[in-house]
A and B are shown apart, each in its own frame.
Chain A
Amino acid sequence: MAISKEEIIHIAKLACLNLSENEIEKYTKDMQEILEFANTINNVNTEGMNETIAANEKSNVLRKDEVVDFGNRDALLQNAPSQDEGMFRIPKVIN
């Protein structure tokens, strides 16, 4: 199955990535090869098989939905590219 440049551009948009003309070229070729390889899984008979949804499926882990205070707000904010008065700063969204 062939994958087109247009598809790569669409997928990059979904993934919030800008691609240069060279990158589009390269990734289209790479995806072509990788997906061809990935398609080999169609040789496996999976009739009646469930999907693996977790590596351990023996038990379901539940906990109370309780708020736990992280306690070090400054350490969290110190990694923000832009902050103001204890809040993350972003460009204006609403005109």
Chain B
Amino acid sequence: MELYEYTVHELVEKLEKGEITSEQITKSYFDRIKEKDNKVKAYVSTLEESAMKKAKEIDEARKAGKPVSKFAGIPIGIKDNMCIEGTKTTCSSKMLENFVAPYNATVIEKLNKEDLVYLGKLNMDEFAMGSSTEHSAFFPTHNPWDLDRVPGGSSGGSAAAVASQMAPWALGSDTGGSIRQPASLCGVVGLKPTYGLVSRYGLVAFASSLDQIGPITKDVTDSALLLNLISGHDEKDSTSMEMEKKDYTLSLINDVKGMKIGLPKEYIGEGINAEVKQAILDVAKKYEELGATVEECSLDVGKYATAVYYIVACAEASSNLGRFDGIRYGYRTKNFDNLKDIYRNSRSEGFGPEVKRRIILGTYVLSSGYYDAYYKKAQKVRTVIKKGYDELFKKYDLLLTPTSPTTAFKLNEKTSNPLEMYLADICTVPVNIAGLPGMSVPCGLDSKGLPIGFLLIGKSFDEETIFRAAYTYEQNSNFRENKPTFKGGEN
């Protein structure tokens, strides 16, 4: 068995026993990247030199008996919208193509304390705006289960890298499904934590009231381990919650007896692919066999969440992206006579088509005459959606839905119709609107051999129940015996 095939918790065990070194693990990953990434194209940049140097230092420290973290020397991939000091953070945009981060994101500071090794920065839809990673200004990423299909997005590079074993785990960010949907389409585990559990400092902002950083991992245990490392209050992000630090591995318990799971009927009905629906019903049946009760319920207002999302997210984005003016950092046009030209031409040349579309939509819904009808109304509907969840969580511990209405779609299938692309998020978006935690767990393959994922939605700051249920499912199923085939990609 190659080192890149192990989960992180297996690697940690082997490191502790002295069976392997960080240098061996790290080299195994760079060899794998060289073998596979010319087809998958998950990495925007790799950090081989600094990674190998760091791995060697950790090995020497371990050998000398110095106290090191148990994760010291474990490699990780980072979505290219999180700042690592001294390295490029591009957001897969021409606007930030040459931007070198002058500081570390808080999640990176936390990983540095544990001496993790950075393999590189992972591809994404430009500024995290998209559901397929086709909106990257550099190149699209391909799905390792079928190279002619998308990996999902916007954290498509992170999910594809973990699925194709080019990283043992990775960080993604999720504004409307950008961790969970690609995790589902690539057959890996993706968690969007409760809004406020993980600091957003140093994450390039898309929609600040919705963005959250979270783990993309091979299994549920690694997800708990990585959440342990990155969660916690940060004074640099006033929306991060002050609360007692939890150890999520304590929730890795193989038992769901007595747990109450709601199955909102709207997400197993119209618009959901028949094979996906069947897979979700099979998961529900499995939970019942394992001692949980699963009951059909309703979240009628959920059907408005996607419309609310595109109003609120684009409004926030149009404001957040106002900072890109060609003056202090980022792309500056060569074509200008005055200051106004710098602003307009830098933005027009630096942003890609989807980013411009969302800035225009966001500017429109915030503009005089439309603010009340769109933005204000959407924020009120957001409250109604939150209340809808509150009602359901009076009765249920968790909600179960598909993560994505379909399995991975073909490259270029949805790029010409933005609205159709937006509807790829219908199952994931409501969770961000309400600020709740959600985890996508792989549960099978469709008849084309493409992964299907189910989504577990928990109460606010109750990641524990999600971990417990996801772990129980994983221990009683065998998805990880399936491996990506890397088929297709001839065209």
A residues near B, CB below 8 A? 3, 7-8, 11-12, 14-19, 23, 27, 30-31, 33-35, 37-46, 49-56, 61, 63, 70, 72, 75-76, 78-82, 88, 90-91, 93
Contact = CB atoms under 8 A, between A and B. Distances in A.
Nearest to A39: B307
A42 B304 CA distance: 9
Contacts of B330: 79, 81
Interface string B231-251: 000010011010000000000
B360 A31 contact: yes
B91 to A, nearest CB: 13
Nearest to A56: B196
Interface residues of B, number: 68
Given A14-B363, A56-B239, A42 B327 contact: no
6 contacts: A17-B348, A19-B348, A30-B419, A49-B380, A81-B331, A93-B339
A46 B103 CA distance: 43
Contacts of B381: 41, 44, 46
A9 to B, nearest CB: 10
B352 to A, nearest CB: 12
Contacts of B364: 3, 7, 11, 31, 35
Interface string B297-326: 000010010111011000000100010011
A43 B117 CA distance: 50
Contacts of B419: 30, 33-34, 37
Contacts of A33: 418-419
B361 A31 contact: yes
A23 to B, nearest CB: 7
Q: Chain B interface mostly helix, strand, loop or mixed?
A: helix
Interface in B332-376: 332, 336-339, 342-345, 347-348, 351, 353, 356-357, 359-361, 363-365, 367, 374, 376
B111 interface: no
Nearest to B303: A40
Given A55-B195, A91-B338, A93-B339, A40 B307 contact: yes
B356 A79 contact: no
B326 A81 contact: yes
Contact of B367 (A11, A31, A46, A78): A11
Interface string B443-471: 00000000000000000000000000000
Contacts of B329: 76, 79-81
Nearest to A30: B418
A82 B332 contact: yes
A79 B359 CA distance: 24
Interface stretch (B47-55, B157-165, B254-262, B382-390): B382-390
A90 B342 contact: yes
A93 B361 CA distance: 30
A78 B210 contact: no
Contacts of B363: 11, 14-15
B332 A8 contact: no
Contacts of A3: 364
Instruction: Report which residue of A19, A41, A80 has the largest number of chain B beta carbons within 10 angstroms of its beta carbon.
Output: A41
